[in-house]
């Protein structure tokens, strides 16, 4: 599965990350916080949560608004 990381600038395109890279980062550090772009489908993020919950990780997903516009949001995922 490939997900798009949150943009660092409004005019930039989001970078992508593979599920395997996310898992490597978590195994290395024991837990991580990831920020994903709004272009990801909510369905894919739920699959991500279920994937790591099946591996006995605690996962928390929420939507973070960073502006007044309804389209100004990103997803925050805590994996411990």
- List the pLDDT tens digit at each of the 80 positions of the chain: 999 999 988 789 999 999 999 999 999 988 899 999 999 999 999 999 999 999 999 999 999 998 888 888 999 999 99
Phi and psi dihedrals of 60, rounded to 5? -130, 125
The angle that helices 42-54 and 19-29 make with each other, rounded to 10 degrees, is: 40
pLDDT of residue 26: 94
* 5: β partners: 36
User: Rounded to whole angstroms, how far apart are CA atoms 37 and 30?
Assistant: 23
- Domains with residue ranges and CATH for the chain: 2-79 (3.30.1710)
pLDDT of residue 35: 97
What pTM did the predictor assign?
0.89
């Amino acid at each position: 599965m490939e997900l798009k990381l949150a943009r660092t600038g409004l005019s930039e395109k989001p970078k992508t990350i593979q599920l395997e890279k996310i898992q490597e980062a978590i195994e290395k550090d024991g837990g991580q916080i990831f920020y994903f772009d709004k272009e990801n489908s909510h369905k894919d993020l739920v699959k991500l949560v279920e994937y790591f919950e099946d591996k006995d990780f605690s996962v928390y997903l929420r939507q973070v608004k960073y502006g007044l516009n309804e389209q100004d949001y990103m997803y925050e995922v805590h994996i411990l």
